[in-house]
Amino acid sequence: MNRKTTLAAIGGYQPFLFCIGMYFVALFFSIFICSAVFYAFYPKKAIAKEGQTSHKTASMAPGGSRMLLTVTK
């Protein structure tokens, strides 16, 4: 009987390949999270200007309850 041992050699690399894969997954998510936090503190100027001019909010209290209205042009 002849055995093929090519797949058995790959099994020895499984922990190493798993660590490499998890490193790249963590790197991808850390870049995504850091960029989201950065743009939360420093938004792009075009988006910030658009948000300031097109929306107006007002607080009204009919019947003693609070309501928030957003008015757009």
Q: What residue segments make up the domains of the chain, in order of their start?
A: 6-72
Q: What pLDDT does residue 29 have? A: 94
pTM of model > 0.75: no
Segment 7-31 mean pLDDT:
89
3-state SS, one letter per residue, for 36-67: HHHHHHCCCHHHHHHHHHHEEEEEECHHHCCE
Q: How high is the mean pLDDT of the chain? A: 75
- The torsion angles phi and psi of 57, rounded to 5 degrees, stand at -115, 150
Segment 16-44 mean pLDDT:
93
